[in-house]
Amino acid sequence: MITLALSKGRIFDETLPLLAAAGIEVTEDPDKSRKLILATTRPDVRVVLVRASDVPTYVQYGGADLGVTGLDVLLEGGNQGLYQPLDLRIAACRLSVAVRADYDYASAVKQGSRLTVATKYVNLSRNFFASKGVHVDLIKLYGSMELAPLTGLADAIVDLVSTGNTLKANHLVEVERIMDISARLVVNQAALKLKQAPIRRILDAFASAIPQS
Ligand code: PRT
Ligand code: MG
């Protein structure tokens, strides 16, 4: 049995075409059932649904053989020991700094002010601002980062941006792009050895179906 860990939402949705290329179809709709283990048209392949931030943990400890997870999750969580054979180029976005439209970020940075930054990505933010020599106080949030500059909780946020619509709707502007993000395939090292042939077949099919841009 091959177990693939996915999170509901964009990772699940955007992995489906890659699975199709491998001849694998998920036979249950995660939005219509409460099941956490989904069967596929291949009797030897199943999908488990976990929180996005738990995908690397499942794969690292063998709860799943393979997983699809954002580079943001991998870098923030320090799971770089995992075998990451493929950039799937799905769920693409960028990690950026954003502020209120009326906040002069450039001057604050130039004057060496101490910025308060709210984010879910405290490790990535700490490294980024340290590399720029900008002093920051970091506030860890678990969601709705956009609210922080609007309520006076923080001067800036570090968050993922794709269309930019969420920032725009909250009168925030992107002032710095930290890095490009996309989803990666991660593989359990032991599974790669023990189930080499079936895992290789999936890797090759995924590789041939990665969207080009
Ligand atoms: O939502 P939940 O708390 O359950 O978990 P999660 O946020 O970890 O999962 P999910 O499914 O939202 O995101 C999974 C992965 O998708 C992330 O780890 C990223 O690698 C990737 N991804 C790609 C994104 C986005 N694009 C994205 N736009 N993840 C989140 N967003 C959010 C962003 O945080 C912001 O709130 O969408 C909003 C901005 O979108 P735009 O289009 O308005 O710019
Ligand atoms: Mg989300």
Q: Are residues 156 and 187 in the same domain?
A: no
| pLDDT bucket at 65, cuts 50 / 70 / 90 | very high
189 and 84 part of one domain: yes
DSSP string computed for 65-108: SEEEEEHHHHHHHT-TTSEEEEE---S-EEEEEEEETT--HHHH
Using a pLDDT cut of 90, give the percent of the chain over it.
96
18 and 36 part of one domain: yes
Q: How is 37-57 classified by DSSP, letter by letter?
A: EEEBSSTTEEEEE--GGGHHH
Count of beta carbons in the 10 Å neighbourhood of residue 148: 23
Q: To 10 degrees, what angle do helices 196-209 and 10-21 make?
A: 100
Number of domains in the chain: 2
pLDDT tens, residue by residue, 125-163: 999 999 999 999 999 999 999 999 999 999 999 999 999
Q: How many helices (H) and strands (E) does the chain have?
A: 9, 11
What CATH number does residue 119 fall under? Answer: 3.40.190.10
Residues 41 and 87 in one domain: yes
Residue 81 confidence class, pLDDT cut points 50, 70, 90: confident
Residues 67, 113 within the same domain = no
40 and 107 in a common domain: no
Residues 27 and 45 grouped into a single domain: yes
Q: In this structure, what DSSP letter does residue 191 have? A: H
Distance 39 CA to ligand 2 centre (A): 25
At residue 12, what are phi and psi to the nearest 5 degrees? -60, -50
CA–centroid distance, 161 to ligand 1, in Å, is 8
Residue 80 has pLDDT above 70, yes or no: no
pLDDT in tens, 172-205: 999 999 999 999 999 999 999 999 999 999 999 9
> Which ligand lies nearest to the CA atom of residue 89 in the structure?
1
Do 86 and 186 share a domain, yes or no? yes
How many whole angstroms from 160 Cα to the centroid of ligand 1?
6
Closest atom of ligand 1 relative to the 166 alpha carbon: 43
Whether 117 and 173 map to the same domain: the answer is: yes
Which residues have CB under 6 Å of ligand 1? 7, 9-11, 52-53, 70, 72-73, 91, 93, 143, 159-166, 181, 183
Whole-structure pTM value: 0.96
Distance CA 86, CA 44 (A): 22
| Pair 84, 104 in one domain | no
Show the domain range for 17: 2-91+182-209
For residues 105 and 169, membership in a common domain is answered with: yes
pLDDT in tens, 83-103: 999 999 999 999 999 999 999
* Residues 75 and 97 occupy one common structural domain: no
